[in-house]
Structure 1
Amino acid sequence: MKLNLNIQPLSSWMNVTHQPLVISGPCSAETEEQLLATARLLKATGKVSVLRAGIWKPRTRPGEFEGIGSIGLEWLNKAKAETGLPIAVEVANAKHVKEALAAGVDILWIGARSTVNPFTVQEIADALEGHDVPVMVKNPINPDLSLWIGALERINRAGITKLAAIHRGFSSFEKTAFRNQPMWDLAISLKTLLPQLPILNDPSHICGSRELIPFIAQKALDLDMQGLMIEAHIDPSVAWTDAAQQVTPAALSEMIDGFVLRKAESKNPDFVDKLAVMREKIDQIDDQIFQKLGERMKIVEQIGEYKRDNDVTILQVSRWDEILQKRTAYGSVLKLEKDFTEKVLELIHSESIRKQTAIMNATKAELG
């Protein structure tokens, strides 16, 4: 099911000076000199379309640097006047919105810590009523697609049609190389439900480390995301916030040069014909997969009835362990990733448990 929001195409409100679209600037505006120097170098690359900087910084714990505050808006306007770059800032409440709009900020974004709270998003939406300003909404900290969509809907209902989403990854207890798990499937789901919605990627917050940014940025572009928000600082080693994930303007320029830009479609008749043939093969295989899954579930139901009639529990841990070991080993031979195989097996096992539970709990009347 697709959702209907009144959204303008990105090209109608964003002047993209270079492909891909890149929004860049320091994580935090620290001093006027730092911001202006960074802005000049970003402008000189010729590859940045929008200057960003955090001036109100929601921090996890009190006592950390929480942004320079409203004076940062003056610095951003000086940078805009000198470089010609539009400016973007994060807003987290109605006061931020009013000050940013009064200062002539070109683009607002709502951060992950705000998106997670519908009360905060509604406060921001109410403050935006009657204003024709572009707004970008980052995904919530936790992996909740409904919260993300809800925030976009609230802003859209306030009359904001220049709307975009920013995929910045999700918090997870699992420790990996990334600061925030990409969980690409959630971004893809959002794109499927709202195909007209521009989605940008924030590899800086996903990675938490500048070394990983090119990999994540390239994957985002390969998934047809429409731009990148990458943090850049004139000297990341002395940055007051998130030093490890910021790059220099020179490094950003080099990174952008290394991106491979691919088309969403091809008009080459040979490509279209061959792709159609391969997709037809996939459709046939998918049909076979679902047919076999249906056959498997019928046997699962028979097993459930047999267990019920013999007073045997649904879950047989030893059998589940056996399936996991055998099927993951077989999947490995077929060059399937172990994580993928395990996820597929877990979904099938979960549905098998559900079916057997329904059979176990069926009343005599239902059984006839």
Structure 2
Amino acid sequence: MLACKLASRSPDSKNNTIIKIKTAGKEISIGDGNCTIIAGPCSVESQEQYLEIALILKEMGVDILRGGAFKPRSSPYSFAGLGTEGLKILAEARELTGLPVVSEVMDPRDLDQVAAHCDLIQIGSRNMQNFSLLKEAGRVDKPVLLKRGLAATIEEWLLACEYIMDAGNEKVILCERGIRTFEPLTRNTVDIGAVALVKELSHLPVIVDPSHATGRRSLVAPVARAAMAAGADGLMIEVHQHPEEALSDGEQSLTPEQFAALTERIRAMV
């Protein structure tokens, strides 16, 4: 990586970056072989819905809760999240469970309030090359989870990471979530090889989102296992207590029972 001065692994270094997140309940380490499980519904739909699933996931041993408050949607008529109210519910879930929470930021103007309510800041695939947002994320003292863009090369992904790090924030987690190809039967094409390659090129943690990568509930578990076998440092999985009623991405969300079966197999692999 010619231009990735901060994200690249030096030729003689085998050290991996470990990102630690502390809450009142526990300390989470992401990277260097730690199997970090991030889970939750695609969107924060209501206080009752989110707190219920948060407690279920805590009992299942999840490390970090996810939930969208600001949702980038292909259609302007789709549910786009509860905004600030969703962030408040996420913060309430953190107090209730003791688990850290992550949510996506889409606009630099919302960055401070997302950072105030969340322990990790997610920059989604559609904003991977939103350079203004990347630079602003670099000034925030919170870990940033950077998803690979829909059609981004690995070098472009790492260079996007470089914008954040060069601006002062070196706590970056890379997330492979599939890239767009000519294949119509899955939402995206999962680049499992990218996990191994990025781990070779960079010292930063790499996780995989098999939910957005495939778009199909039946494929989440096998792709999750493949990701861990390829050396991923963790997984980001969508779980909803009633996927058929979800306001977004229900078709790729696991039920709690399906998620429990998956995590049992994943834990046995590491």
TM-score (norm 1): 0.65
Q: CA deviation at 1:258?
A: 1.8
Which residue, out of 55, 62, 87, partners 1:40? Answer: 55
2:244 aligned residue (212, 237, 244): 237
Aligned equivalent of 2:122? 109
- Structure 1, unaligned stretches of length 5 or more? 264-368
Q: Could you tell me how far 1:21 is from its partner in structure 2?
A: 1.2
Query: Structure 1 residues 150, 6: CA separation in 2 closer, same or farther (over 3 Å shift)?
Result: closer
- SS state of the match for residue 109, structure 1? strand
Larger RCO (alpha carbons 8 Å, 6+ apart): 2
Which residue pairs with 1:184 in the alignment? Answer: 192
Runs (5+) with no aligned partner, structure 2: 9-15, 22-26
Aligned-pair identity in percent equals: 32
Alignment correspondent of 1:319: none
- Cα separation, 1, equivalents of 2:49 and 2:80: 17
Asked whether the 8 Å contact 2:43–2:71 carries over to 1, the reply is: yes
- The equivalent of 2:6 in structure 1 is 5
Deviation at 1:149, TM superposition (A): 1.4
Tell me the TM-score normalised to structure 2 length.
Answer: 0.87
Match of 1:76 among 79, 82, 90: 90
- Aligned residue type for 2:220: I
Alpha-carbon offset, residue 183 of structure 1: 2.4
* From 39, 43, 46, the counterpart of 1:28: 43
Q: CA deviation at 1:157?
A: 0.9
The offset of 1:70, in angstroms, is 1.0
Give secondary structure in 2 for the equivalent of 1:23.
Answer: strand
SS in 1 for 2:28: coil
Distance 1:246 1:86 in 2: 21
**AA matched with 1:100:** V
Instruction: Give the drift of 1:240.
Output: 0.5
**Aligned match of 2:78:** 64
Q: Give 1:109's aligned amino acid.
A: Q
1:107 positional shift = 0.2
Q: How has the CA–CA distance of structure 1 residues 249 and 168 changed in structure 2, closer, same or farther, with 3 Å as cutoff?
A: same
Distance in 1, matches of 2:148 and 2:231, equals 17
- Write out aligned runs for 1:174-213 (5 A): 174-176=183-185, 178-194=186-202, 196-213=203-220
Q: Is the 8 A contact 2:195 2:227 kept in 1?
A: no
Q: Which one has a bigger Cα radius of gyration?
A: 1
Q: Which residue of 2 aligns with 1:226?
A: 233
RMSD of aligned Cα (Å)? 2.2
1:6 deviation in Å?
Answer: 6.1
Question: Structure 1 stretch 61-70 or stretch 214-223: which is displaced more?
Answer: 61-70
Query: For 1:245 and 1:92, how far apart are their aligned partners in 2?
Result: 22
Q: Determine the C-alpha separation between the residues in 1 that align with 2:249 and 2:7.
A: 35
Compared with structure 1, are the counterparts of its residues 6 and 187 closer, same or farther at alpha carbon in structure 2 (3 Å cutoff)?
closer
1:246 aligns with 2:260: no
Deviations 1:252-295 (A, max 9, x none): 122111226556xxxxxxxxxxxxxxxxxxxxxxxxxxxxxxxx
2:147 aligns with: 138
Whole-Å separation in 1 of the counterparts to 2:49 and 2:18? 30
- 2:7·2:204 contact (CA, 8 Å) conserved in 1? no
Task: Count residues with an aligned counterpart.
Answer: 255
The alpha carbon displacement at 1:10 in A equals: 2.4
